[in-house]
Structure 1
Amino acid sequence: MTAPAPLLVVGDALLDHDLCGRAERLAPDAPVPVLSGNRRTSRPGGAALAACLAAADGRPVTLVTAVGEDDSSTCLVRLLGDRVRLVRLPLRGALSTKTRVLAEGRPLLRLDDGDGRAREATAEACRAVADAGAVLVADYGRGTADELREALAAAAARVPVVWDPHPRGGPPVPGVRLATPSAAEARSLAGRPVTVPDGDGSSALQSAARDAGTLVRAWRAAAVAVTLGGRGALLSHGETPLLVPTPVTAEGDACGAGDRFAATAAGLLADGGFTEAAVRAAVHAATRWVAEGGVRSLSSQGDARPGSAADDALGTVGRVRAAGGTVVAAGGCFDLLHAGHVSLLQAARRAGDCLVVCVNSDASVRRRKGPGRPLVPLADRIRVLRALECVDAVAVFDEDTPERLLGELRPHIWAKGGDYALGRLPEASLVESWGGQVVLFPYLDGRSTTGIARRAASEAEPARRPSERERR
């Protein structure tokens, strides 16, 4: 497997805090909630969050940002640790911080402090931009991108540059491969009043398409992807836009979803991918980010690096469980993936917050199905399953049944097709032992890998005519 390409992240780092507690009563002297049982957490924010997310994808990341000697800067540098290589710009003032006050996970209030700005570019920072093979700019309007604007313009002429703009920042340099504003940001940056409602979904898409086209021309960008929250993203090259919908509906904390989107898209463009494919993957990644708990899952991701399919599945399960989500698992050979498989997997994903597919190894399929199976080798079956937007992770088991793997994953729901309804599944007792539940989903009749293989074989062997020599 090819290692992910390095990525340079340039922009304004922030320090984010969450103050979480319970709001069970109102204050006696004012109609405001009283927060009790408070717990405070801190994490990198802004460009630093985008850099950490790109590093969690397993790629080498260099972060160019302004930090000083104030307490918030010191805390941020400590939180970054060795996850990224840090190239410092001098900071004038204190690092900007953002504190969210949440009750039962719902935001009540946000406090912003610090007005620090990047003071000047450095020779090291300019070299980092000049040497970069791909760049992500997270411009929060605190001067980092402004100080390096000339170097970033030169970079955009030779390598992929993704620009995540914000209304307080400047416009992207000409020639960026992709800009990624939210719908509200696109409206503001396109010069339309943010107070004008879009009305129904159709007019919201029309507004986003109009704003994206305006920004492509104004910024001389190759493409603009307007992120639409739970609806996905609208990709425009200046003409007819492409709507990339979310794979599933994800409920949860959307904080940082834009950074997850931009980091994924920039990383895939760094790897040599096409813009449309990068945006599709970015929508999927942002949706999964929200479903897995958003910024609450960041600490559990740590210094993630690419691993086996089982490692990926266990990591996904751990993040969803830590965020209070529901883990769903489904299993099978998935040899010649057909409509019945897809219908089951889509229904299973809608039942929870992540779907892990447990797939039989080649040896396991051979023991179960006989000689000649599987028709599709394991590596290809995994690749096809991972390409489904409803699938969050894939894990392989070599035994005849998935009990051992299920014991590691401990899903809340074990999903099976409705054709198993007449008997009790052998895994049922195991799943119920940790409080899980076996759930049956409707099965599409008449779909089976064996049937498809037989029809293909019969059509591939027409009645053989005798050769000229045989007729003699």
Structure 2
Amino acid sequence: MRIAVVGDTLMDIDLNGHAARLCPDAPAPVVDVDDRQERAGGAGLVATMLAGDGHEVDLITALSDDHAAERLRGLLQGVHVSAGELGGPTPVKMRVTADGQRIARIDEGCGPRPFPLVDQDMVDTLDNAEAIIVADYGRRLAEAPTLRAALAAAARRVPVVWDPHPQGARPIAHAAAVTPNLPELLTLSGRPVDGLGAVASAAGRLRERWGASAVVVTLAERGALVCGPESDVHIAAPAAGLRIEDSCGAGDRFAATLTSALGAGRDLQAATEAAVSASVAFLGGGGVASLAHPHRTPPAAEPEESTAFALARRVQALGGRVVAAGGCFDLLHAGHLRLLEAARELGDCLVVCLNSDESIRRLKGGSRPLMSQEDRAELLLGLSCVDAVEVFTEDTPEQLLSELRPDVWVKGADYDPEQLPETALLRRWGGEVVTVPLEPGRSTTGLATAIAGLD
């Protein structure tokens, strides 16, 4: 997919080291730097993320003629940069960390905000985009009239996601989604936002004020709240038990995934679910530290990993346990819920391996399933104990399990683990099969029969 990223590009630097003494002339720690990491920040970080996802990325930004801008161009390999003249020094933000503790942030070039120059090449670049994200970092690029007019025209053709800044420009009308975080919502709305009800009210007022199709508020570990024209939907964050040490970049990861998902044709709720999961996986995998040496996926690479696979990789990279459970889950009932809740307690995330519609028809006959795989997956993802769902088309989940490689495979207590083919499979990589008690008297067949008897 070709995605245009519009916004302010910064230079981000992390200095990591240790401090064992104080300055002789002041009570300040002396930091011996062990590691220096540089990356493109702001809209440049969003572009880097999307390029790493395998998309064709056009970055429409403004750059200066200084050493920091030269370094930024080198860091943006794999991204097509269309840049106007910034008219001032490149903003540089440097974070200093000693022994795992952040002790200072040093900003350069972040004072007065010169108005950047926008040329016709920057505007014309939007014509080729299949989706657009505006990463406004308050440096005035998003105020440019010619660029705003082009974005407004593009919003009638492709999804435009606007990631706002309290000191930035007003989002254009008809944006597919505007994505403030909670502190930004407070500043932008000017009202208290204590509780999801207040968040929804504030987001609804901003949606009407801006003329946006939706406002999606990111809520850190609580996920996100989608405020649309008809209803508000809370999307909970999966795998909330993961330890997060650095939240920097999570909002950019969220907005980037939301944009690509909308560009691929997913509806807003499904796109938001993907964005929440991607943010959790990004933070669980080390956050921006993992982008110190960014790389772009070659065009001929395999399709990008699904949310379930990406989440499993991140959890295992942190030393966590991935739990999987499988089945048809046709007519979700209390027995299913008890099994899934018990499964989630056995590890750090739960992936449900879901039989496709075709596999259910082969297993149970033409009258099943009673609900489509899309509806079954959506209901499962609505459960707080389920972190991801992966559909498989074979009659058994063994192929999926061999690729997912969970640490635990959960079955009901009516199965003997030693008789299951999955047991030998799991043991190949050190996994185990665990059975949990069944809820008596609960079954999809029995429920379907009872419903049919109502006629």
Question: TM-score interval w.r.t. the shorter chain?
Answer: 0.7 to 0.9
1:255 aligns with 2:248: yes
From 176, 199, 208, give the equivalent of 2:199.
208
**Structure with max Cα Rg:** 1
Moved more, 266-275 or 161-170: 266-275
Query: Structure 2 stretches of 5 or more lacking a match?
Result: none
From 109, 116, 119, give the equivalent of 1:119.
116
From 128, 131, 135, give the equivalent of 1:134.
131
Task: Indicate how the Cα distance of structure 1 residues 143 and 237 shifts in structure 2: closer, same or farther if over 3 A, else same.
Answer: same
Given that 1:325 and 1:352 are in contact with CA atoms closer than 8 Å, whether structure 2 keeps it comes out as: no
Task: Indicate how the Cα distance of structure 1 residues 328 and 171 shifts in structure 2: closer, same or farther if over 3 A, else same.
Answer: same
Moved more, 123-132 or 244-253: 244-253
From 248, 263, 277, give the equivalent of 1:284.
277
Write the letter of the residue equivalent to 2:109: G
Aligned counterpart, 1:150:
149
| Shift of residue 399, structure 1, vs aligned partner | 10
- Cα deviation code 1:6-41 (max 9, x no counterpart): 322111122323334467x66486776676673332
Q: Secondary structure at the match of 1:152?
A: helix
Given that 1:99 and 1:110 are in contact with CA atoms closer than 8 Å, whether structure 2 keeps it comes out as: yes
Given that 2:281 and 2:314 are in contact with CA atoms closer than 8 Å, whether structure 1 keeps it comes out as: no
Write the letter of the residue equivalent to 1:39: D
From 220, 230, 236, give the equivalent of 1:229.
220
Aligned counterpart, 1:93:
88
From 10, 22, 26, give the equivalent of 1:14.
10
Task: Indicate how the Cα distance of structure 1 residues 141 and 308 shifts in structure 2: closer, same or farther if over 3 A, else same.
Answer: closer
Distance, in Å, in 2 between the alignment partners of 1:374 and 1:309 is 34
| Shift of residue 442, structure 1, vs aligned partner | 5.3
Distance, in Å, in 1 between the alignment partners of 2:358 and 2:71 is 51
Q: Secondary structure at the match of 2:221?
A: helix
Task: Indicate how the Cα distance of structure 1 residues 58 and 450 shifts in structure 2: closer, same or farther if over 3 A, else same.
Answer: farther
| Shift of residue 137, structure 1, vs aligned partner | 0.8
Q: Secondary structure at the match of 2:72?
A: helix
Distance, in Å, in 1 between the alignment partners of 2:352 and 2:368 is 19
Distance, in Å, in 2 between the alignment partners of 1:431 and 1:373 is 32
1:51 aligns with 2:47: yes
Given that 1:332 and 1:359 are in contact with CA atoms closer than 8 Å, whether structure 2 keeps it comes out as: yes
Distance, in Å, in 2 between the alignment partners of 1:364 and 1:131 is 40
Task: Indicate how the Cα distance of structure 1 residues 80 and 445 shifts in structure 2: closer, same or farther if over 3 A, else same.
Answer: farther
Aligned counterpart, 2:263:
270
| Shift of residue 370, structure 1, vs aligned partner | 7.5
Write the letter of the residue equivalent to 1:67: L
Task: Indicate how the Cα distance of structure 1 residues 364 and 13 shifts in structure 2: closer, same or farther if over 3 A, else same.
Answer: same
- Cα deviation code 1:423-451 (max 9, x no counterpart): 66877788678676666555444455676
Query: Structure 1 stretches of 5 or more lacking a match?
Result: 193-197, 463-472
- Cα deviation code 1:117-146 (max 9, x no counterpart): 563111111112345443211111123212
- Cα deviation code 1:95-134 (max 9, x no counterpart): 2232333456554432222348563111111112345443
Task: Indicate how the Cα distance of structure 1 residues 331 and 218 shifts in structure 2: closer, same or farther if over 3 A, else same.
Answer: closer
| Shift of residue 64, structure 1, vs aligned partner | 0.7
Task: Indicate how the Cα distance of structure 1 residues 257 and 374 shifts in structure 2: closer, same or farther if over 3 A, else same.
Answer: farther
| Shift of residue 309, structure 1, vs aligned partner | 8.7
User: How well do the aligned residues superpose, as a CA RMSD in angstroms?
Assistant: 4.5
Distance, in Å, in 1 between the alignment partners of 2:226 and 2:360 is 41
- Cα deviation code 1:317-373 (max 9, x no counterpart): 444444x2514042545474744455544554565554455678999999xx98969
Aligned length, in residue pairs: 439
Distance, in Å, in 1 between the alignment partners of 2:230 and 2:379 is 28
Given that 1:292 and 1:353 are in contact with CA atoms closer than 8 Å, whether structure 2 keeps it comes out as: no
Task: Indicate how the Cα distance of structure 1 residues 120 and 27 shifts in structure 2: closer, same or farther if over 3 A, else same.
Answer: same
Write the letter of the residue equivalent to 2:92: T
Write the letter of the residue equivalent to 1:12: D
Given that 1:50 and 1:260 are in contact with CA atoms closer than 8 Å, whether structure 2 keeps it comes out as: yes
Write the letter of the residue equivalent to 2:68: S
Moved more, 94-103 or 238-247: 238-247
Distance, in Å, in 2 between the alignment partners of 1:364 and 1:270 is 30
Distance, in Å, in 2 between the alignment partners of 1:90 and 1:236 is 37
Write the letter of the residue equivalent to 1:182: N
- Cα deviation code 1:31-52 (max 9, x no counterpart): 7667667333233321122223
Given that 2:239 and 2:349 are in contact with CA atoms closer than 8 Å, whether structure 1 keeps it comes out as: no
Task: Indicate how the Cα distance of structure 1 residues 308 and 152 shifts in structure 2: closer, same or farther if over 3 A, else same.
Answer: closer
- Cα deviation code 1:296-321 (max 9, x no counterpart): 44457742878469887665544444
Distance, in Å, in 1 between the alignment partners of 2:358 and 2:213 is 48
Q: Percent identity?
A: 39
Distance, in Å, in 1 between the alignment partners of 2:108 and 2:345 is 40
- Cα deviation code 1:244-282 (max 9, x no counterpart): 333442541322221122222222333344444433443
1:326 aligns with 2:320: yes
Task: Indicate how the Cα distance of structure 1 residues 313 and 133 shifts in structure 2: closer, same or farther if over 3 A, else same.
Answer: closer
Task: Indicate how the Cα distance of structure 1 residues 110 and 313 shifts in structure 2: closer, same or farther if over 3 A, else same.
Answer: same
Distance, in Å, in 2 between the alignment partners of 1:206 and 1:337 is 31
Aligned counterpart, 1:218:
209
Moved more, 438-447 or 306-315: 306-315
Distance, in Å, in 2 between the alignment partners of 1:17 and 1:392 is 34
Q: Secondary structure at the match of 2:251?
A: helix
Write the letter of the residue equivalent to 2:179: T
Write the letter of the residue equivalent to 2:413: D
| Shift of residue 381, structure 1, vs aligned partner | 5.9
TM-score normalised by L of structure 2: 0.75
